[in-house]
Amino acid sequence: MEFIQKRKWFYIISLLIIVPGIISMFVQGFNLGIDFKGGSMLRYQISATTEAAAITQVVNDLQVASEVVVQQSGNDFYIRSNELNQEQTKQITAALSARYGEVTLLSAESVGATIGAELVRNAFLAVAIALVLMLIYISFRFEWTFGLAAVMALFHDVLIVCGIFSLFQLEVNGAFIAAILTVIGYSINDTIVIFDRVRENLRMKKKEALDALLNKSIMQTMNRSVNTVLTVLMPLIALLMFGGATIKVFVITLLIGFIFGMYSSICIASPFYYEIKQRG
């Protein structure tokens, strides 16, 4: 397959996803969890049969919390809201006990707005540092053109994941940042495998046209890339279906990131390398 010759189509596909995501990030921003914007999360275990909507109604009737979001995982219910004090937490516990009988407060966590803002800065800093270190390592291990192309492809992956989360207002929390860093690690590993094959082919066939050599290198590593991501997606889908609410954000981020990480390694990183070499 002529990946390099069809690179403009891959660019168009990526832009169709990235541009709406960037617009959404500026217009509606992110749905930040309590890790970043501050707030409280209460975890209850309720023996009686009920649903998240009913729990939400009970909490709203008390008028002690705003922006109430309830997630259910079996008999466990996670109540997220603005920051609550101890008295307000007791009121919610008492109301749930009066309605459902046996109710156990398993945990109560609160994050202040100041700490949340600091976590946002640290999260962006962590991603930026990871990208810079990878650029330095790949430039040292291969050459700067490989490093620049790889980091541009990684930035492409991060933009897509963040854009999708902004478009659909999926919750962004600490698990999201951990997943983003995991996606970066996976994607760079996949890209390095392809670039290592490119380097080997460059040494063996110096007279071959660069676009043909890149296409050949991609095809030689295609089975490895596809099989690896399929192997990873199977347990992730199982976790998404049966893992519960607590790891949902983490799993969704990995699913999106691994799929587009494979796509960028095959369809974006090598074309970027070709563009850099042609203009170099």
How confident is the model over 109-138, as pLDDT tens digits?
887 766 667 777 887 888 888 888 888 888
Q: What is the reported pLDDT for 243?
A: 80
Joined together, the tokens standing for residue 159 give 């933009």
Identify the band that residue 280 occupies on the pLDDT scale cut at 50, 70 and 90.
low
Q: What is the reported pLDDT for 36?
A: 78
pTM for the predicted model, two decimal places:
0.84
Q: Are 70 and 48 in contact (CB under 8 A)?
A: no
Q: In whole angstroms, what is the distance from residue 40 CA to residue 257 CA?
A: 28
In our burial notation (b when 16+ CB lie closer than 10 A, e otherwise), range 61-73 reads: eeebbeebbbbbe
Q: What is each CA distance from 232 to 84, 90, 211, 236, 259, in whole angstroms?
A: 39, 43, 30, 7, 10
Q: In whole angstroms, what is the distance from residue 213 CA to residue 197 CA?
A: 10
Q: What is the reported pLDDT for 114?
A: 65
Joined together, the tokens standing for residue 47 give 């023996």
* Cα-Cα-Cα-Cα dihedral sign, residues 43, 49, 53, 56: negative
Joined together, the tokens standing for residue 86 give 């101890």
Q: What is the reported pLDDT for 25?
A: 94
Task: Give percent of the chain with pLDDT exceeding 90.
Answer: 52
Q: What is the reported pLDDT for 66?
A: 74
Q: Are 249 and 179 in contact (CB under 8 A)?
A: yes
For 88-107, what is each residue's pLDDT tens digit? Answer: 999 999 999 999 988 999 98
209: nearest Cα among 151, 120, 130, 277: 277
Superfamily (CATH H level) for 7-33+115-279: Multidrug efflux transporter AcrB transmembrane domain (1.20.1640.10)
Q: Are 138 and 147 in contact (CB under 8 A)?
A: yes
Q: Which residue in the block uniquely carries the two structure tokens 């676009």?
A: 211
Joined together, the tokens standing for residue 193 give 């495998």
Q: Are 154 and 128 in contact (CB under 8 A)?
A: no
Identify the band that residue 193 occupies on the pLDDT scale cut at 50, 70 and 90.
very high
For the chain, the domains span 7-33+115-279, 39-111
CA 38 from chain centre, in angstroms, equals: 21
Q: What is each CA distance from 149 to 141, 143, 146, 183, in whole angstroms?
A: 14, 10, 5, 17
39-111 has the same fold as 7-33+115-279: no
Determine the Cα angle at 12 with ends 279 and 193, to 5°: 65
Average pLDDT of the residues of the chain? 89
Q: Are 280 and 144 in contact (CB under 8 A)?
A: no
Q: What is the architecture, at CATH level 2, of domain 39-111?
A: 2-Layer Sandwich (3.30)
Q: In whole angstroms, what is the distance from residue 123 CA to residue 181 CA?
A: 10
Q: In whole angstroms, what is the distance from residue 271 CA to residue 280 CA?
A: 14
Q: What is the reported pLDDT for 135?
A: 85
Q: What is the reported pLDDT for 93?
A: 93
* Rounded (10°) CA dihedral 207, 208, 209, 213: -140
Q: What is the reported pLDDT for 4?
A: 93
What is the bridge-based pairing of β-strands 103-111 and 31-32? unpaired
Q: In whole angstroms, what is the distance from residue 179 CA to residue 184 CA?
A: 9
